Amino acid sequence: MAGRFHVIVIGPQGSGKGTQAARLAPLLQLVHVATGDLFRQLMTRDDELAREVRSYYDRGALVPDELTLRVLLARLDALEREQGDQYRGALLDGYPRNLAQAEALDRVLTERGDVIAAVVHLVVPREVLIERLSGRLICLTCGATYHVRFSPPRVAGICDRCGGALMQRSDDTPEAVARRLETYEQQTAPLLDYYRARDLVIDIDGNRPIDVVTHDLLVALESRLAHNPCRSS
């Protein structure tokens, strides 16, 4: 089986990472794999892997890195089974988050004959991130997200999609957001250094209109992937 090539998207909360990953994946013929979505989907199942993950969720504990990697690999295995030769690789969103996870991911991808073709780093000033995140509203019923300034609902406090009530999460206050960004920066600096040493990082200014960021990402990644040895014609 030919090796697959994968792209990693790295960026702090509020950088637009999820939005850009979802837009880019089909344009690059990759599958968007967001670890947050994988865990949410897993919680609806009742198999051995789901029960193991749920045992951590139920007691409020962090899911260990080893288990998170197993969840990710299970998804990659499923994509290979479902899509066969049509599956070229994944656009990874939310993993790895730290150096230990990156090293573990490298080991398993090498065993599979896969490669990381590029690491996209979305760069957004801290003050912009705090403004974006601290104005976020979430629907209690369907989970849709809004922003008091950038994407407000048609009726204040009411979800456009389902009519549910909107709220601000307790960890979306400016103080809580600042603490989360500090944690991200501490974990991500060594991660970016690790990938920069292999000339994989593409820095993109994420503090611009969504369409402009998508265009620049696409141009940079198409050039990088065109020269990837795993790319099949």
228: left (phi over 0), alpha (psi -120 to 50) or beta: beta
Per-residue tokens: 133: 């995140």
* Helix, strand and coil percent figures for the chain, each rounded to 5: 50, 20, 30
Total count of residues recorded for the chain? 233
User: How many angstroms separate the CA atoms of 166 and 158, rounded?
Assistant: 6
Q: Count CB atoms within 10 A of the CB of residue 56.
A: 14
Number of H helices, E strands in the chain: 8, 8
CA distance 97 to 38: 15
> What is Dmax (Cα atoms) for the chain?
53
In which element (H, E) is residue 201 found? strand 201-205
> How many whole angstroms separate alpha carbon 9 and alpha carbon 1?
25
Q: What is the DSSP string of 59-112?
A: TTPPPPHHHHHHHHHHHHHHHHHHHGGG---EEEES---SHHHHHHHHHHHHHH
Active site residues: 17, 97, 136, 169, 180
